[in-house]
Amino acid sequence: MGGRTDVTTGDVTAADREQLAIRSLRRGNYLVEISRASPAIPSGTAIFGIPVPAPAPSAPVHGTLDVTALGSHRAIPFQLTGNRAVIGRVSVHLEERFEEIDGTPVQLYNGPDRRIIPDRR
């Protein structure tokens, strides 16, 4: 049917929790959004030609969203008063760093010596 193949869900029919997992994220910014399961019918809508009155506003929903991404964990409290809300952003970026391996320092090229790591023969 198309779409992503690396997304899994859990507890989707539970009234008090739901899980969503994405196995791989590319670099970029991702908005974290929550929404109500059944949004209110907009006012002025007609069903079979009969106008439907505007529904009463839904009660606010409070909760905490636990987000774990690339080893970092955040608990984000939220209050949903409308049909949907953006409550966070996940930023995925690449950082490079040099680390020593077996106590041997990594050396960048800075002259005629063309070895990166000394030969240990």
User: 19-38: per-residue pLDDT in tens?
Assistant: 888 888 888 898 889 888 76
Q: What is the pLDDT of residues 74-110, one digit of tens each?
A: 899 999 998 889 998 888 888 877 777 787 766 665 5
- Neighbouring residues of 26: CB distance < 8 A, sequence distance ≥ 6: 92
**Nearest 5°: phi and psi at 64?**
-130, 135
Six-digit token pair at 79?
A: 């209050």
User: Taking Cα atoms as reference points, which of 54, 60, 65, 66 lies closest to residue 83?
Assistant: 60
Per DSSP, the residues of 3-58 read: S-SSEEEE-TT-SS--EEEES---SEEEEEEEE-SSPPPPTT-EETTEEPPPPPPP
Question: Domain spans of the chain?
Answer: 1-37+58-95
The mean per-residue pLDDT over the stretch 106-117 comes to 54
Global pTM value: 0.58
- Percent of the chain whose pLDDT exceeds 90: 7
